[in-house]
Chain A
Amino acid sequence: MTAEIIHITLLSIFVSISATLLASAMAVPLGTIMGLHKFRGKEIIRTITYTLYGFPPVVAGLIIYLMLSREGPLGSLNLLFTPTAMILAQMVLVFPIVTGLTMSSVSDVAKDVKETAMTLGADRWQTAKTVLNEARVGVISAVMVGFGRAIAEVGAVIMVGGNIRWHTRVLTTAIVLETRRGNFQYALILGGILLSVALIVFFVLKRYQDKGVRT
């Protein structure tokens, strides 16, 4: 049983960290660009991004299931009921959150930092890097929130993963299963493990965040 708990925990960590990293790798640059520049339709895109924060995970799961299903457009990739599908589902949910929060953080500092960087001789690329560095605290918060979303995800992950023992069962889906079976104590223990994992990840990220603000 311990072996199973370890497997479930490691899989949860792997899936959620991968999803958060991959989504952030795209979301942070996108959010930075959006926060830095004015462009036509900026307000509309911002509103859409915020709306997607509340995207129902089960719906996201259903959509991805339909796409990965054998009858679906991506059926030939054979990705249904695999950890990869779970990572994809979590990425879809994490992406708008990290984009939106990054955009907000960058917007906050953009004007002052941009002016400072440019008057000191930064080119566009250097300005963007400097702005991002200054918005670091907010951006890392964005990634934290994204990770929180990913690791707590259940609805989408059950749909595209199938909660298959030893294969696609993670902490959240195992909790659902054990609760259904009436093993409340076991479910609570798994919940405790999940919270501990989140705590460790946030602790590490926070150290990273503080590094930019030495005293």
Chain B
Amino acid sequence: MSHEIAMRCEDVCKSFQGNTILDELSISVEKGELLAIIGPSGVGKTTLLKIMNGLICPDKGEVRLMDDRLRFDDEADLGARRKMALLSQEPYPLSKTVWENVAYPLHLRDEDDIEERVEDALEHVSLMDMAERNAGTLSSGELQRMAFARATVFEPEVLLLDEFTAHLDPYNISVLEDAVEWYVDEKDTAVVFVTHNLFQAERIAHTTAFLFDGQIIEKGTTEEVFEEAEDERTDAFVNGEMVF
């Protein structure tokens, strides 16, 4: 980790239909940091990721990518958005081949070296042999790997992953985890991933944050959070108990 802040949320508030989801939530992630966000279902983890990506506008608070403040306007934030990637739980395959799907973001940015970069991205997720397949025919594991390649081919500074290995078999999980770790180590990408899988968090995350009640209750190194939680709610959650 380089200790340079890649992304920061400050006092972010968001309510939906009268229910407060996020309540003056602040969190930051550094370049090269692999941050896991854990917490019970429906607590707002996906919402937080979408706010970080500029897709959802918070009621209050600031989000900064490096020094750029997100204005939550599609056109104004384009530059910032192009340095981030958000991978959802069920990615949408564009009706093209796998290769063309992965090349898509590079075409959007009108960049060169497309062939080389797409090849690299596909190799990291072991998908080169399926490059000419129509993306609509992929299995869920293959689709997730393609979506990952698609989201990383342009080397985003911040990678946001929403339960990206949920429902996948061990092989796909390990391929994807290896790929994530590679990007973090080699490209200094800041990664924020939301997961239900505490084993996964323990396995790969440098730091872990526990989101509950609209707040980040606790954030620290993964070891700290899992072994020596300061807050009793964190402690309860990581030990598989209900939290109130």
Complex-state Cα separation, A133 to B104, whole angstroms? 13
Complex-state Cα separation, A108 to B103, whole angstroms? 25
A103-141 CB contact bits vs B (8 Å, 1 = yes)?
000000000110110111111101000100110100000
Q: How far is the CB of B94 from chain A (nearest CB, A)?
A: 7
- Report whether A120 and B108 are in contact in the complex, using a CB–CB cutoff of 8 Å: yes
B172: Cβ under 8 A from any A Cβ? no
Q: Which B residue's beta carbon lies closest to that of A115? A: B55
Q: Which A residues lie within 8 Å of B195 (CB)?
A: none
B105: Cβ under 8 A from any A Cβ? yes
- Report whether A118 and B55 are in contact in the complex, using a CB–CB cutoff of 8 Å: yes
Complex-state Cα separation, A115 to B81, whole angstroms? 12
Q: Which B residue's beta carbon lies closest to that of A136? A: B95
User: Which secondary structure characterizes the binding site on chain A?
Assistant: helix
- Report whether B94 and A215 are in contact in the complex, using a CB–CB cutoff of 8 Å: no
Pick from A112, A119, A215: contact of B55, CB under 8 Å: A119
Complex-state Cα separation, A207 to B109, whole angstroms? 30
B234: Cβ under 8 A from any A Cβ? no
One of B61-69, B83-91, B198-206, B221-229 at the interface: B83-91
Q: Which B residues lie within 8 Å of A115 (CB)?
A: 55, 88, 92
Q: Which B residue's beta carbon lies closest to that of A137? A: B95
Q: Which B residues lie within 8 Å of A72 (CB)?
A: none
A40: Cβ under 8 A from any B Cβ? no
Q: Which B residues lie within 8 Å of A121 (CB)?
A: 78, 81-82, 105, 108-109, 154
- Report whether A134 and B105 are in contact in the complex, using a CB–CB cutoff of 8 Å: no
B136-147 CB contact bits vs A (8 Å, 1 = yes)?
110000000000
Complex-state Cα separation, A34 to B227, whole angstroms? 53
Complex-state Cα separation, A126 to B108, whole angstroms? 7
Indicate the size class of the contact surface on chain A. Answer: 20 to 34
Q: Which A residues lie within 8 Å of B88 (CB)?
A: 115, 119
- Report whether A112 and B86 are in contact in the complex, using a CB–CB cutoff of 8 Å: no
A75: Cβ under 8 A from any B Cβ? no
Pick from B74, B78, B91, B154: contact of A116, CB under 8 Å: B91
Q: How far is the CB of B52 from chain A (nearest CB, A)?
A: 11
Q: Which A residue's beta carbon lies closest to that of B154? A: A121
B97: Cβ under 8 A from any A Cβ? yes
Among B91, B92, B137, B150, max chain A CB count under 10 A is at B92
Q: Which A residues lie within 8 Å of B94 (CB)?
A: 113, 116, 130, 133-134
Q: Name the interface residues of A198-215: CB closer than 8 Å to any CB of B.
A: 212-215
Pick from A119, A123, A215: contact of B85, CB under 8 Å: A119
Q: Name the interface residues of A74-109: CB closer than 8 Å to any CB of B.
A: none
- Given the known interface contacts A119-B85, A136-B95, the answer about A215 and B137 at a Cβ–Cβ threshold of 8 Å is yes
- Report whether B95 and A212 are in contact in the complex, using a CB–CB cutoff of 8 Å: yes
Q: How far is the CB of B159 from chain A (nearest CB, A)?
A: 11
Among A113, A119, A133, max chain B CB count under 10 A is at A119
B-side residues, CB < 8 A to A, are: 53, 55, 74-75, 78, 81-82, 84-86, 88, 91-92, 94-95, 97, 104-105, 108-109, 134, 136-137, 150-151, 154
**Nearest 9 A/B pairs, CB to CB:** A121-B82, A119-B86, A112-B92, A120-B105, A116-B92, A121-B108, A212-B95, A122-B108, A214-B134
12 CB-based A-B contacts, threshold 8 Å: A113-B94, A115-B55, A118-B74, A120-B85, A121-B81, A124-B74, A124-B75, A126-B108, A134-B95, A136-B95, A213-B136, A214-B134
